[in-house]
Amino acid sequence: MRLAIISDIHSNLEALTEALTIISAKKIDDIICLGDTLGYGANPRECLSLVQSVTGHILRGNHDEASVDISKTEYFNRYARFAAEWTHKQLTPEEMEFIKRLPSSIELYGLLFTHSSPFEPDEWHYIVSYDDAKINFPLFSAPVCFIGHSHLPGIYCEDRITRDIVPGKKYIINVGSVGQPRDNDPRLSFGLFDTETLKYENIRAEYDIDSAAEKIIKAGLPKSLALRLYDGK
């Protein structure tokens, strides 16, 4: 089974469209979306509709949650809060109900998929280091847990050393962000995983940042949300 794992699209239609074009050419069997389809960008409804059209495996992220419940923006910075409030106004009641019903974690194909972490997945904890990952390994039984949330692609093995996926070890893999990378690389990021060969590949690709940024500015969203796309920060 060849899987594509996408996450943190953040209403960036240009990045999502490019990612799905690549996925289509890779002969993938299934797609899993780890959440945060919404937030920051200018095409929330279009991105949600497009994700719904390609997969039934969609998770809820913290920005998705905040987009339907503004009280959840308490810990957001002012730009993220503004974007959540703007997104909230764009969504239909039906779209909001759909988002509210989404899970924050699912198990499929003997693997765990969650937006933030196995530990209290609805509390949106970050995994950005081995020490963060270490406390999570005892909390799941699957050999691999796929996450997003931090927008920082990376592989964490329970032995702290191994990078290739091999039987008998546990891994947490962050697939990065499709729509708003933050590892100083502005290219979109997502993951491919073969459940038979255990091969994992992090895909990076350029997309039309100019169009995505222009839409953000025209929508009246903070200009900084457009400019950061060019820096990958």
What CATH number corresponds to the domain at position 26?
3.60.21.10
pLDDT tens digits along 83-92: 999 999 999 9
Please measure the distance between the N-terminal and C-terminal CA atoms of the chain and give it in whole angstroms.
33
pLDDT tens digits along 120-148: 999 999 999 999 999 999 999 999 999 99
Residue 222 lies in a domain: no
Q: What is residue 11's DSSP assignment? A: T
What is the extent of the structural domain holding 142?
A: 2-217
Work out the angle between the directed axes of helices 44-54 and 78-90 (0-180°, nearest 10).
70
pLDDT tens digits along 106-120: 999 999 999 999 999
User: What's the distance, CA 221 to chain centroid?
Assistant: 21
* Sequence-distant (≥ 6) Cβ neighbours of residue 47 within 8 angstroms: 9, 11, 12, 13, 16, 37, 38, 41, 179
Pick from 117, 162, 110, 165: nearest CA to 138 = 117
- Global pTM reads 0.97
Residue 46 lies in a domain: yes
pLDDT at 163 over 90: no
CA–CA separation, 3 and 105 (whole Å): 16
Mean predicted lDDT score pLDDT of the chain: 97
Residue 229 lies in a domain: no
Strands (E), the chain: 2-6, 30-33, 105-108, 111-114, 144-147, 154-157, 171-174, 188-194, 200-205
DSSP, residue by residue, 151-179: ---EEEETTSS--S--TT--EEEE---SS
In the chain, the percentage of residues whose pLDDT exceeds 70 is: 100
Question: For the chain, what is the domain count?
Answer: 1
Give the pair of three-digit tokens for residue 88.
């909230």
Instruction: Say what the pLDDT of residue 138 is.
Output: 97
Q: For 172-187, what is the mean pLDDT?
A: 98
Q: If you search the block for the tokens 């419940």, which residue do you land on?
A: 69
Residue 166 lies in a domain: yes
Q: Model confidence at 95, in pLDDT bands (50, 70, 90)?
A: very high
Q: For 26-43, what is the mean pLDDT?
A: 97
Residue 230 lies in a domain: no
Residue 121 lies in a domain: yes
pLDDT tens digits along 3-24: 999 999 999 999 999 999 999 9
Burial of 9 (0-12, 13-18, 19+ CB in 10 A): buried
Instruction: Say what the pLDDT of residue 189 is.
Output: 98
CA–CA separation, 219 and 42 (whole Å): 6
Residue 94 lies in a domain: yes
pLDDT at 200 over 90: yes
Instruction: Say what the pLDDT of residue 169 is.
Output: 96
Residue 207 lies in a domain: yes
Q: Model confidence at 170, in pLDDT bands (50, 70, 90)?
A: very high
More confident residue, 16 or 162: 16
Query: Are 156 and 147 contacting, i.e. CB atoms less than 8 angstroms apart?
Result: no
Strands (E), 7-81: 30-33
Instruction: Say what the pLDDT of residue 175 is.
Output: 98
Pick from 193, 188, 178: nearest CA to 108 = 193
State the greatest distance between any 2 C-alpha atoms of the chain, in Å, as a whole number.
51
